[in-house]
Structure 1
Amino acid sequence: MSLLFKNLRVHQVFGANTDVGKTLLTSALVRASATKHERVFYLKPVSTGPMQDADDEHVKRYIGANKDRLHAACLYRFSEPLSPHLAVQLEADKEQTEIPVPSDETFGSAVASHIRQNASGAPSYSHMYVETAGGIHSPSLSGTTQADAYRPLFLPTILIGDSRLGGISSTISAYESLMLRGYIVDCILLFKDEYYRNGEYLAPYFAEKQINVATFDPPPPRHSDPSANFDLTERYYQSLVPPTQEGSIFNVLSHLDACHSRRLEELESMPRRTLDTIWWPFVQHGHVKGEQDVNVIDSAFGDFFSVYNGHRSKRTKKSLLEPQFDGSASWWTQALGHANPALTTAAARAAGRYGHVMFPQATHLPALNLAERLVKDGPGKDWASRAFFSDDGSTGMEIALKMALRAYAIKQSPPLDMANRKELGVLGLKGSYHGDTIGAMDACEEGVYTCEWHNAKGYWFDPPYVGIRKGKVHITVPESIALQSEGSVNGDALQSLSQVYDVKQRLDTPLASVYRTFVSQTLDRLQKKESPALAALVLEPIVLGAGGMIFVDPLFQRILVDLVREAEPSKTLPVIFDEVFVGLYRLGMETSGPLLGVHPDISVHAKILTGGLLPLAVTLASDETFQAFLSENKTDALLHGHSYTAHPVGCEVANETLNMLQKVVCGDEWKEAQERWSGAGDTDSPRVFSLWDQGFVEAISHLAPVKEVMTLGTLLVIKTQDDSGGYRSNSAQALLKPVVAALNEESPNAFGMHFRTLGNVAYFMTSLNSPSKTIRAVEDRIWSALSNAHS
Structure 2
Amino acid sequence: MMVRKLAEVTVVLRTEIKSRKENDYARCIMHLSKNILIHQIFGANTDVGKTVLVTALVLASASRGRHVRYLKPVSTGPIRDADDEFVKRFGKRFHSRIQQKCLFRFKEPPTDEIVNKFVSAYINDCARRTADKTDVYIETAGGVHSPSISGTSQVDSYRPLRFPVILVGDSKLGGISSTISAYESLLLRGYSVDAIMTFQDDYYRNWEYLSEYFAERDVHVASLPLPPPKLDNAHLNFTTTDSYYSRLLHDERLTNLNDHLDKRHAGRIHELQSMPDRSRNCIWWPFVQHGFVKDPEDVTVIDSAHGDFFSVYTGHSSKTSSLLSPSFDGSASWWTQAFGHAHSSLAIAAARAAGRYGHVMFPQATHLPALKLAEKLVSPNGPGSGWASRVFFSDDGSTAMEVALKMALRAYCTRYGADLKQADKQQLGVLGLKGSYHGDTIGAMDACYAGDGVYTCEWHSAKGFWLDPPTVSMRDGKAIITLPDSFGIREPLWQKHIVVDSLPWVYDIPGRLDTELAESYRRSINQIMRKLDAQQPPIRLAALVLEPLVMGAGGMIFVDPLFQRILIDVVRGAEPRRGDDAWRGLPVIFDEVFVGLYRLGLQSCIPTLGIKPDIAVYAKTLTGGVVPLAVTLASSSIFEAFLSESKADALLHGHSYTAHAVGCEVANKSLAMMDKLAVSDTWTGMRRSWRGQSASAPPSPMWSMWNPEFLTEVSRLQTVNSAMSMGTVLAIKLRGSGEGYRSQLAQDHLQSIKVPPDDESFGIHFRTLGDVAYFMTSLNTSRDTIKELETRILSALSAS
Q: Please state whether the residue corresponding to 2:668 is helix, strand or coil.
A: helix
- Specify which of 411, 415, 420 is matched with residue 407 of structure 1: 411
Decide which moves more: 754-763 or 286-295.
286-295
- 2:313 aligns with one of 308, 316, 323: 308
Q: CA deviation at 1:568?
A: 2.5
The aligned counterpart of 1:165 is: 173
Q: 1:359-408 CA deviation, whole Å, 9 max, x = no partner?
A: 11010000000000001121000000000000000000000000000001
1:52-67 equivalences under 5 Å are: 52-67=80-95
1:234 aligns with 2:242: yes
What is the identity, as a one-letter code, of the residue corresponding to 1:102? P
Deviations 1:764-789 (A, max 9, x none): 00000001111111111111111222
| 1:341 pairs with 2:344 | yes
The percentage of counterpart residues that share the same residue type is 58
SS of equivalent residue, structure 1 residue 359: coil
The Cα offsets for residues 587-620 of structure 1, whole Å up to 9 and x where unpaired, read as 1111011100101000000000000111000000
Q: Residue type matched to 2:296 in 1? A: E
Q: Is residue 19 from structure 1 mapped to residue 20 from structure 2 by the alignment?
A: no
Q: 1-side partners of 2:427 and 2:150: how far apart?
A: 63
Contact 1:306-1:323 at 8 Å conserved across structures: yes
SS in 2 for 1:727: helix
* 1:413–1:284 CA distance, 2 compared to 1 (3 A): closer
Contact 1:423–1:531 under 8 Å retained in 2 = no
Counterpart amino acid of residue 743 in structure 2:
S
Question: Counterparts of 2:511 and 2:597 in 1: how far apart (Å)?
Answer: 25
Q: Is the 8 A contact 1:46 1:133 kept in 2?
A: yes
One-letter amino acid of the counterpart of residue 710, structure 1? M
Measure, in 1, the Cα distance between the counterparts of 2:144 and 2:524. Answer: 65
Letter in 1 for 2:772: V
2:556 aligns with 549
Partner of 1:368: 371
Structure 2's unaligned 5+ residue stretches are: 1-28, 577-582
1:258 aligned partner? 263
* Of 574-583 and 139-148, the range deviating more from structure 2: 139-148
8 Å CA contact 2:737–2:771 kept in 1: the answer is no
Q: Give 1:490 shift.
A: 2.1
- Counterpart of 2:571 in structure 1 is 564
- Asked if the contact 1:502–1:685 (Cα under 8 Å) also holds between the matched residues in 2, the reply is no
Q: CA deviation at 1:491?
A: 1.2
Amino acid at match of 2:700: P
Alignment of 1:350-499 (within 5 A): 350-376=353-379, 377-412=381-416, 414=418, 416-446=420-450, 447-483=453-489, 485-499=491-505
In structure 2, which of residues 58, 65, 68 is the aligned counterpart of residue 40 of structure 1? 68
Q: Is the 8 A contact 2:493 2:517 kept in 1?
A: no
Letter in 2 for 1:614: V
SS at match of 2:75: strand
Q: Which amino acid is 1:16 matched to?
A: A
Unmatched 5+ stretches in structure 1: 79-86, 89-100
Residues 398 and 438, structure 2, Cα contact 8 Å, conserved in 1? yes
Paired with 1:472 and 1:432, the residues of 2 have a C-alpha distance of: 26
Task: Give the 3-state SS of the residue equivalent to 1:548 in structure 2.
Answer: coil
Contact 1:335/1:767 (8 A) holds in 2: yes
Structure 1 residue aligned with 2:286: 281
Residues 1:703 and 2:706 aligned together: no
Q: Separation in 2 of the partners of 1:758 and 1:352?
A: 40
Given the superposition, is the C-alpha separation of residues 659 and 182 from structure 1 closer, same or farther in structure 2, using an over 3 Å criterion?
same
Q: Write the deviation string for residues 394-440 of structure 1: whole angstroms up to 9, x where unpaired.
A: 00000000000000110016364433221210000001100000110
**TM superposition outliers: structure 1 runs of 4+ over 4 Å:** 679-685
1:413/1:333 CA distance change after superposition, 3 Å: closer
Residue 13 of structure 2 is matched in structure 1 by none
SS at match of 1:33: helix
Counterpart contact for 2:488–2:524, Cα < 8 Å: no
Encode CA deviations 1:241-276: one digit per residue, 9 max, x unaligned: 13xxx5111110000000000000000000110111
Tell me, yes or no, if the aligned pair for 1:8 and 1:122 is still in contact at 8 Å.
no
The one of 746, 759, 776 aligned to 2:787: 776
* 1:119 counterpart SS class: helix
CA RMSD of aligned residues (A): 1.4
* Pairing of 1:596-745 with structure 2 (within 5 A): 596-679=609-692, 683=697, 686-745=700-759
Structure 2 CA distance for aligned equivalents of residues 69 and 159 of structure 1: 24
Measure how far apart 1:71 and its partner are.
Answer: 1.0
**2 CA distance for matches of 1:360 and 1:407?**
22
The counterpart of 1:126, out of the listed 134, 138, 148, is 134
Query: Which one of the candidate residues 319, 335, 338 is aligned to 1:332?
Result: 335
Deviation at 1:532, TM superposition (A): 3.2
**Partner Cα separation in structure 1 for residue 457 and residue 331 of structure 2:** 25
Cα 1:416/1:533, change in 2 over 3 Å: same
CA contact (8 A) 1:498 1:679 kept: no
SS at match of 1:65: helix
CA distance in 1, matches of 2:340, 2:117: 18
Secondary structure (helix, strand or coil) at the match of 2:93 reads coil
Aligned match of 1:539? 546
Letter matched to residue 323 of structure 2:
L
Determine if the alignment matches structure 1 residue 518 to structure 2 residue 532. Answer: no
* 1:106-121 map, 5 Å: 106-121=114-129
Whole-Å separation in 2 of the counterparts to 1:486 and 1:400: 38
Contact kept in structure 1, 2:397 and 2:620, CA below 8 Å = yes
Task: Give yes or no for contact 2:729–2:777 (8 Å, CA) kept in 1.
Answer: yes
The alpha-carbon distance between structure 1 residues 75 and 526, as it changes in their structure 2 partners (threshold 3 A), is same
Contact 1:498–1:685 under 8 Å retained in 2 = no
C-alpha distance in structure 2 between counterparts of 1:380 and 1:595, whole Å = 14
| Secondary structure, counterpart of 1:306 in structure 2 | strand
1:765 matches 2:776:
yes
- Measured in 2, the distance between the counterparts of 1:413 and 1:233 equals 90
Aligned equivalents of 2:290, 2:223: Cα separation in 1: 51
d(CA) in 2 for partners of 1:159 and 1:506? 63
The 1:685–1:230 alpha-carbon spacing in structure 2 relative to 1, beyond 3 Å, is closer
User: SS of the counterpart of 1:10?
Assistant: strand
Q: What is the distance in 2 between the residues matched to 1:506 and 1:319?
A: 56
Counterpart residue number, 2:19: none
* Segment drifting more, 121-130 vs 506-515: 121-130
TM-score by length of 1: 0.95
TM-score, with length taken from structure 2 = 0.94
1:122 Cα shift? Answer: 2.6
**Would you say the 8 A contact 1:489–1:511 is kept in 2?**
no
Shift of 1:445: 1.4
Deviation at 1:678, TM superposition (A): 3.3
Question: Does the alignment pair 1:751 with 2:779?
Answer: no
Q: Is the 8 A contact 2:477 2:712 kept in 1?
A: yes
Deviations 1:35-65 (A, max 9, x none): 1124111000011211111000100111152
Counterpart AA for 2:182: A
Q: Quick one: distance in 1 between partners of 2:296 and 2:347?
A: 32
Distance 1:118 1:648 in 2: 46
Alpha-carbon distance in 2 for matches of 1:574, 1:442: 17
Q: Give 1:323's aligned amino acid.
A: P
Match of 1:787 in 2: 798
Contact 2:429-2:463 at 8 Å conserved across structures: yes
Distance 1:442 1:287, change over 3 A: same
The Cα of 1:527 is off from its aligned counterpart by 2.0
Aligned partner letter, 1:411: R
In the alignment, is the contact (CA less than 8 A) between 1:466 and 1:552 conserved in 2? yes
Change (3 A) 1:522 1:685: farther
Q: Does the alignment pair 1:507 with 2:513?
A: yes
CA distance in structure 1 between the aligned counterparts of 2:279 and 2:393, rounded to whole angstroms: 33
